[in-house]
Chains A and B, each alone.
Chain A
Amino acid sequence: MPQQFPAEARLNAERRQWLHWAGAAVLAALALAAPASGRAQEADAVARGRYLATAANCVGCHTEPNGAEYAGGRALKTPFGTFYGPNITPHPEQGIGSWSDEDFLRALKRGLSPEGHPYYPAFPYTSFAGITDADALAIKAFLFSLPPSDRPSRAHDLSFPYSIRLALWPWRWLYFDPEPPPVAADASAETARGAYLVESLGHCGECHTPRNWLGARNEDRKLAGNVDGPEGDKAPNITPDPDTGLGSWSREDVIRVLETGLLPDFDAVGGAMGEVVRATSKLTAEDRAAIAAYLATVPGVPNPDAPATQPEF
């Protein structure tokens, strides 16, 4: 699978990994020091995982308002019924505490439970499929560092025939492509990082790309706006189309909305995007700039039905 990480960062990651192993090998010889190194490596993965989970806003769908973080219960209303984000704390029965690394990768990147049943795409694994294994496992390390909650996950409340999980198999056959969209060969490291943040971690297309009647994203109109966004909101066109997209926004305008939620007319975004901004505002300035850089490179698609806010001149 093509990794979306900039090659340099990947090399660095591999080198760091190697150093960890080499270091661990040396230290393993000194039996006393080995556990300390293991702990440091673990702490490193937890911190990285926390950042990645923020970029992916896992907390949003897996936390009830005012509830314990990641303990589930958040209602997600869709045209197919109401989903409830499950408990993903490391509780062995009510959460995912008994899951192996393989179980976790299969769930996050392929949308299959440890028992092999398919998840509903309300869990945006169709985007998460592009997350690197190393990053996914860092997210797992972070989740496993949280206090376990014994809150049981709530059953979804779906209308027939969506309530039948088996119906998801044909859907997956038609629409699930586990390969992340390829990055242009001449893309800069910044743009490639932005692609990873937008397409895979940040799953912006889950709301901003329109869907067909079976709920599959129409990638020919990628990020071109969706009149049937979450909770009845319109998710506007965020392609660089000059009249109905972000074509007339400056790079600062894009970065500002991700950092402060303020639009070029100094209105503030609301709806589901307000929550997304809580996540993007915690990213590094470099990552916000990378998102802006990548958005400027996707094909511009006009969409007068879900236009972006146009700056006042």
Chain B
Amino acid sequence: MRFGNRVAVAAAAGALVIAVGLGSGAIRTEAAMGAKDVIETRQKAMKELGGHMKAINGFVEKGEGDAAMVAEHATAIAQTSMKIPELFPEGTSLADSHGVKTAAKPEIWSDRPGFEKAAMSLGTEAEELAEAAKGGDKQAIAAAFGELGKNGCGGCHSNFRQKQD
């Protein structure tokens, strides 16, 4: 091999190394940015679920609003429940979120069927509350609300979320 060629090869290899280095760096920041967006989006979605629960609780505990309002919030929760799994893509658990703060346990991915079942169960419980609200019986509404909190929200949080602070 001639000297010039050797230089060319070395330069090419060097360029390759640099390109790979930059590339993976870029991938890393892109992943972090992506993770940040998706984590913030789902935390906001979760807070909105809390808002619906708060409104329903106002009716259950203090008689604020009416049963039709309860049915609306319950239906909104059921609709959100179907979108929960897609807000948890790979690479966004508390173990691999690139420094973004999240309470999502790795079990969300190692037990994906269990996680999807928990999301579906939120939908079922919310629909039951919506049904009870259409019936109008206050006691049935309060009971279905309790089940929704404990099993629907709590059922998933028990297994798949670990509070961080």
Contacts and interface: CB of A to CB of B under 8 A. Distances in A.
Interface of A: 232-234, 252, 256, 259-262, 265-275, 277-278, 281
Nearest to A267: B50
Interface stretch (B1-9, B64-72, B79-87, B150-158): B150-158
21 contacts: A234-B165, A260-B145, A260-B146, A260-B149, A261-B153, A261-B154, A261-B157, A262-B57, A266-B50, A267-B46, A268-B53, A268-B154, A270-B159, A271-B161, A271-B162, A273-B158, A274-B150, A274-B158, A274-B159, A277-B154, A281-B146
A137 to B, nearest CB: 30
A277 B150 CA distance: 7
B89 to A, nearest CB: 21
Given A233-B163, A252-B61, A260-B145, A265 B153 contact: no
A261 B155 CA distance: 10
A212 to B, nearest CB: 24
Interface in B120-155: 145-146, 148-150, 153-155
Interface in B42-88: 46, 50-51, 53-54, 57, 61
Contacts of A259: 146, 150
B51 A274 contact: no
A258 to B, nearest CB: 10
Contact of A262 (B149, B155, B162, B163): B149
Contacts of A256: 57, 61
Contacts of B53: 262, 266, 268
A233 B158 contact: no
Q: How many interface residues does chain B have, given as a range?
A: 20 to 34
B162 A274 contact: no
Given A233-B162, A256-B57, 18 more contacts: A260-B145, A261-B153, A261-B154, A266-B50, A267-B46, A267-B50, A268-B53, A268-B153, A269-B157, A270-B162, A271-B157, A271-B162, A272-B158, A274-B154, A274-B155, A275-B158, A277-B150, A278-B150
A281 B150 contact: yes
B94 to A, nearest CB: 11
A265 B54 CA distance: 8
A265 B155 contact: no
A269 B103 CA distance: 13
A232 B149 contact: no
Interface centre among A259, A267, A270, A271 (most CB of B within 10 A): A270
A261 B150 contact: yes
A234 B161 CA distance: 12
Contacts of A268: 53, 149-150, 153-154, 157
Contacts of A265: 50
A256 B149 CA distance: 10
A278 B54 CA distance: 20
Contacts of B145: 260
B163 A271 contact: yes
Contacts of B165: 234
A272 B51 CA distance: 24
Contacts of B157: 261, 268-271, 274
A234 B150 contact: no
Contacts of A233: 162-163
A257 to B, nearest CB: 9
Contact of B154 (A252, A266, A269): A269
A159 to B, nearest CB: 23
B50 A270 contact: no
A266 B152 CA distance: 13
A311 to B, nearest CB: 11
